[in-house]
Structure 1
């Protein structure tokens, strides 16, 4: 066992005695439990209970559990100020620090306990890199809130705040949204990034059934944690490792379910990064190919009016997988953390509510929930959550209103400078240019709150929250900071978007583009700390783990 390096020599055993470990515990496998618990993030405030349940499960099945921490940023709390520059970069910090702790202390296996946006992919990257037996158990989703008998979530408050600014909502009603949108602990209740990644962890085979959908406040979540603790010992006995589970076919399954569920566009950042650590080249160009054959079966908030708790009641992720398997679109002979194959896992897991999970024969749309667009505005690629775009905005043409940061765009939206037909362009918000690739939830929420959701599109080299809805097109590559064509757009240029055709263009000739490029000067990114400065350099140099190293898309 790996742990023999610290349990079989007297100096190291002396330190283990200092921890209060008994000789019997030292003779058992050492299982690292990576706890993302903190008192800052609503999705993580309950993880101490999950961790205690995991520890019990490990001990019940013959292991010695030892807990160490991982950081986690709340994207909602970080939104709209310099904190958002730090969100995406924490993914690399989490992966690197977990790798360091696991190798420095010679753990035999790991149980990852994440919940929120960058925390889940960061730990999946670490698991891939370390490749020792590992299982995941998340903290679970928040229950939806209610106002006037209708379910709401965090993004509802963002849109309500914009409506209040626009004069279409009273302060009293805004306060009602504020007080009722987030009623429990857990990751925000819609199919936002955290829940997308927790659900896709289940699809990848790294989490047990219910990992992505059992609400945080349900006792079933504690039971799930105990089972995960017990199951890691089985994975260790059988020597089943992350790269045995997360194969190329497993990532194809994840992209397929991504399309069926209508997950966050951030999954297009995270899945390639995780695959990269597994030695799998996941080119996002394959997303459109998979989308073309995969029906969209779920319209969870913000795309619709159902929430993760209802997906759980309808049969959860395995029920969606079963629907998709009826079309022959899944690889089902793959081993998973259950010790069984995908086929064995989903057998008998049927759809219990066809309003929440549409049958494969009656989907919301015959194609998937995410689309990758290309054109002279985004020569490499850009991404849109197609399932959250109204039919009226699947095609849009209008003049560009160009801004070099999120704050300038927000001021223009709130002051009424953005009108029906416009295309808001926010640039220099990419990985290098931001730096840090901020989420643009505030601008899209402002557009929705001002009643322009079916009249105005937004294009950015930043990224979008899973809470975003509307014609919000992000991850434009190459980004403005490295001279991508988005840096050359001028106010009034006509932008043409055709989501169903996977195209995005602006009406400038190649000759005019060349002239603009000759006059373009790089901008210095607004560095706000030593770490962000190093991160910007890492992105530029293509360091291991850096977003821009990944094929085709950040």
Structure 2
């Protein structure tokens, strides 16, 4: 036991004395010490209930013979941070979370961990820490929010964003906007569609670090509390059997995750977080695999924002095990991999079945013949870019149009609201990458504005920043290299013709290589937007989006 370094031997009396200052007994100190990292706070609706999850996990740990010791982690709500300086901190918080979990576990010689995240950057941050620490770990999230209801239809946070744009162009009244605002988010939990938080909670199951149900059991269900208790019990079994995260986080498990990502139509942010988690596991995840697997795995679940279903519908249809079962029956998944259940994927799926064939379709009746994401390259994105293909209208899968260029998100939003964007345009938002942002701001406001004014089937958006998992339309993000690093995005001019071919993975500007190089030769990097504090340090350390925006 690692904890014997602070609990055993005569010369550890001072350390034991400090533990006893908190009321621990000799018997508790004889047990394995299990850290319970709880990101509960009163700022994120997905995290307000995590105290109950932590209490349940600690009960499970005690039932199985461990001593739980709870500590906290920060979290940023992307929805609340959206559209102002707060969004600079969202992606950047992922590294702080990973570092803080590592620090607490190593400093206090913990034997095992139960990690309790729920929202966008907290989940990958904790998964990165799990890979880095490689001590027995189970992740149990707080669960998804239930969808709201308005005029007989399920709605969600994305509905509110789009309704703001509809109000600004007089499509709805202020009174109706208020009705939507008051109806969309009715419970605690991670926002109810297949947005980034739920994408990552689902992929945690695929990677083997979350128990079945982790991605889809709604936050307000009693099943979520029971799941947390089982997570506490299971981490002790992992400790006894010496099963560690790197036993699960293999090349094959990341490939499985990408394949299920295609079936689900997950957020484009998974293309940032999976490589970052893989990096901590010593694995280089090639994002060009996205285009390989999108041809092999069709889009069989159409959840918001691409479709009308929400996470609760996916759960009632059989959850992630049912989705995996469909893929396994097609011979798509590697089923021999171990998971935190102590069993293989094949054993976990033995009783899984699809309970609603509209929510989870088979390959023959898939919503789209190709998977949910597409990886685009070309002279505008030499190192790649990503789009949520499943949420793009058929009319926009192939598009060519003149660039409308903006050097910041707020400039683009103002132009959209002012009616300055025309059908056929390609909105280019640059200097919003990991370095240029800094922090690679998530931009749901401009994409929702485009959808809200009715142009999502006529206008594309391209950025070296990123888009929310709630985004729909031809929104291409993560363009790499970013403008701040002298990527081709930096030299796009108003009116340049941008060529988009999502099915074939192409993103180009209609310029010769010579013209691109001539423009780049005359380009000078702008002054950093933020020169002090954590974000200044982050901008100096962070790598490209194409490598997961990890620290160098």
Output the TM-score relative to the length of structure 1: 0.98
Specify the SS of the correspondent of 1:176. Answer: helix
- Over residues 33-82 of structure 1, what are the superposed CA-to-partner deviations in whole Å (9 max), with x where a residue is unaligned? 00010011000000000000001000001000000001110000000000
Q: For residue 7 of structure 2, what is the aligned residue in structure 1?
A: 7
Instruction: Tell me which of 274, 290, 295 is aligned to 2:293.
Output: 290
Alignment equivalent of 1:433, drawn from 431, 436, 443: 436
Confirm whether residue 271 of structure 1 aligns to residue 280 of structure 2.
no
For structure 1, which runs of at least 5 residues remain unmatched after alignment? Answer: none
Is residue 58 from structure 1 mapped to residue 55 from structure 2 by the alignment? Answer: no
Contact 2:484 2:526 in 1 (8 A): yes
1:286 deviates by 1.2
Select which of 320, 323, 334 maps to 1:320. Answer: 323
In the TM superposition, residue 548 of structure 1 has moved relative to its aligned partner by 6.8
Residues 456-471 of structure 1 mapped to structure 2, 5 A cutoff? 456-471=459-474
Equivalent positions of 1:350-389 (< 5 A) are 350-389=353-392
**Cα 1:459/1:295, change in 2 over 3 Å:** same
Q: 1:176 to 1:529 in 2, by over 3 A?
A: farther
Residues 313 and 549 of structure 1: is their aligned pair in 2 closer, same or farther, counting only changes over 3 Å?
A: closer
Q: How does 1:108-187 map to 2 (within 5 A)?
A: 108-187=111-190
Q: Return the offset for 1:392.
A: 0.9
Deviation at 1:529? 3.8
Q: CA offset at residue 551 of structure 1?
A: 9.3
2:528 corresponds in structure 1 to 525
CA distance in 1, matches of 2:151, 2:506: 40
Aligned position for 1:256: 259
For 1:101 and 1:300, locate their aligned partners in 2 and report how far apart those are by CA, in whole Å.
Answer: 37
Partner of 1:502 in structure 2? Answer: 505
Q: Is the 8 A contact 2:37 2:114 kept in 1?
A: yes
Deviations 1:65-121 (A, max 9, x none): 000001110000000000000000000000001100000000000000000000000
Number of residue pairs aligned between Structure 1 and Structure 2: 549
Does the 8 Å CA contact 2:383/2:546 hold for their aligned counterparts?
Answer: no
Is 1:283–1:551's contact at 8 Å kept on the other side of the alignment? no
1: CA distance, partners of 2:99 / 2:517: 41
1:220-259 → structure 2 map (5 Å cutoff): 220-259=223-262
| Distance 1:335-1:154 versus aligned 2 partners, 3 A rule | same
Q: 1:422 aligns with which of 425, 439, 444?
A: 425
- Give the aligned partner of residue 90 of structure 1: 93
Residues 72 and 550 of structure 1, relative CA distance in 2, 3 Å threshold: closer
1:430-465 CA-to-partner distances (Å, cap 9, x unmatched) read 000111100111000000000101010000000010
Residues 195 and 468, structure 2, Cα contact 8 Å, conserved in 1: yes
TM-score (norm 2): 0.98
Give the Cα separation in 2 of the matches to 1:465 and 1:528. 26
Equivalent residue of 2:363, what SS? coil
SS at match of 2:504: coil
Aligned-partner Cα distance in 1 for 2:471–2:549: 25
Post-superposition Cα deviations, 1:348-390, rounded to whole Å, max 9, x if no partner, equal: 2111101101112211122110000011111110000000001
Cα distance change, pair 87–60 in 1 and its aligned pair in 2 (3 A): same
- Mapped to 1, the partners of 2:431 and 2:148 lie a distance apart of 35
RMSD: 1.3
**Structure 1 position 553, deviation (Å):** 13
Whether the 8 Å contact between 1:74 and 1:116 is mirrored in structure 2 is yes
Q: Deviations over 1:458-517 (max 9, x none)?
A: 000000100000000000000000110011110001111111111111111122112211
Following the alignment from structure 1 to structure 2, what is the Cα–Cα distance between the partners of residues 289 and 72?
A: 34
Secondary structure, aligned partner of 2:368: coil
